[in-house]
């Protein structure tokens, strides 16, 4: 079942056309990697898929029962102020906000959901710690937990690899892979990481304003584009 369908969609960024005529279907069983050089419209496309920006032309359609609140999103790494007072629990719970409505307190079902998600990702022991005191890998898990609280269907991650050391990165990818396999959560990730493209992805979108390649990951690995992308990194 397709969750998101982009039809010949175009998005602009800062007044200039950043994404042009992209056709893309995302299903819940997909592990989609969006690859491409910097400034080729990857983040713009993802924001468009989330409904944060409106297409200039073309359309983004969602499956029935899907709306803006149905996705888990990890935005591009933004430095949180070093002194920002927030505990892991507070951040994870804020992921359930869409279902909370205007109640001044979280109902116990949502608290339970936050607790279970923290346990699933192995960060329950950190619940009362300050977010800013955690390591990069732990912080990324917290944001992942928050995204999971928002959605059990589809996660959209914008360069989650940034700022992670190789070990933390490996663990993070393993965790994502497990969520995809065991929990059946669809994943859309912006990353030009070799591991991600070679091992985990089932679908690849190679973007350079327009879609240079969009389809099966197996197919992509045979193309010159793939060799160019991964070769250029080394």
By CB under 8 A, tell whether 220 contacts other proteins.
Answer: no
Please tell me the distance from the alpha carbon of residue 47 to that of residue 41, in angstroms, as a whole number.
Answer: 10
By CB under 8 A, tell whether 107 contacts other proteins.
Answer: no
Q: Which is nearer to other proteins, 39 or 69 (CB)?
A: 69
Query: x/- contact string, 66-105, with other proteins (CB under 8 A)?
Result: -xxx-x-xxxx-x-xx-xxxxx--xx-xxx-xx-x-x-x-
* Among 164, 184, 180, residue whose Cα is nearest residue 172: 164
By CB under 8 A, tell whether 52 contacts other proteins.
Answer: yes
CB of 72 to other proteins, least distance (A): 8
* Among 70, 84, 91, 195, residue whose Cα is nearest residue 140: 91
CB of 179 to other proteins, least distance (A): 18
Element (H, E) at 72: strand 71-74
Within 139-158, which residues bind other proteins (CB under 8 A)?
A: 143, 146-147, 150, 156
Sheet holding 154-158, edge to edge: 71-74, 154-158, 186-190, 31-35, 203-208, 210-216
List the Cα angle 151/154/156 in 5-degree steps. Answer: 105
- Site residues (CB under 8 A) for other proteins? 50, 52, 67-69, 71, 73-76, 78, 80-81, 83-87, 90-91, 93-95, 97-98, 100, 102, 104, 106, 128, 130, 133, 143, 146-147, 150, 156
């Amino acid at each position: 079942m397709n969750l998101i369908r982009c039809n010949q969609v175009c998005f602009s960024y800062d007044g200039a056309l950043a994404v042009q005529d992209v056709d893309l279907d995302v299903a819940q069983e997909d592990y989609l990697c969006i690859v491409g050089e910097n400034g080729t419209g990857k983040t713009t496309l993802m924001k468009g898929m989330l409904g944060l920006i409106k297409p200039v032309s073309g359309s983004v359609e969602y499956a029935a029962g899907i709306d803006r609140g149905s996705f888990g999103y990890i935005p591009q790494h933004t430095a949180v102020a070093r002194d920002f007072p927030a505990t892991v629990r507070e951040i994870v719970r804020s992921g359930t906000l869409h279902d909370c409505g205007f109640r001044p307190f979280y109902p116990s079902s949502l608290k339970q959901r936050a607790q279970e998600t923290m346990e699933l990702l192995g960060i329950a022991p950190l619940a009362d710690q300050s977010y800013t005191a955690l390591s990069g890998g732990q912080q990324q898990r917290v944001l992942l937990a928050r995204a999971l609280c928002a959605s059990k269907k589809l996660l959209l991650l914008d360069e989650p690899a940034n700022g992670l050391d190789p070990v933390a990165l490996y663990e993070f990818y393993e965790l994502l892979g497990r969520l995809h396999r065991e929990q059946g959560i669809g994943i859309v990730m912006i990353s030009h990481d070799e591991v991600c493209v070679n091992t985990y992805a089932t679908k690849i979108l190679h973007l350079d304003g327009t879609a240079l390649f969009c389809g099966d990951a197996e197919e992509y690995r045979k193309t010159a584009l793939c060799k160019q992308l991964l070769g250029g990194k080394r």
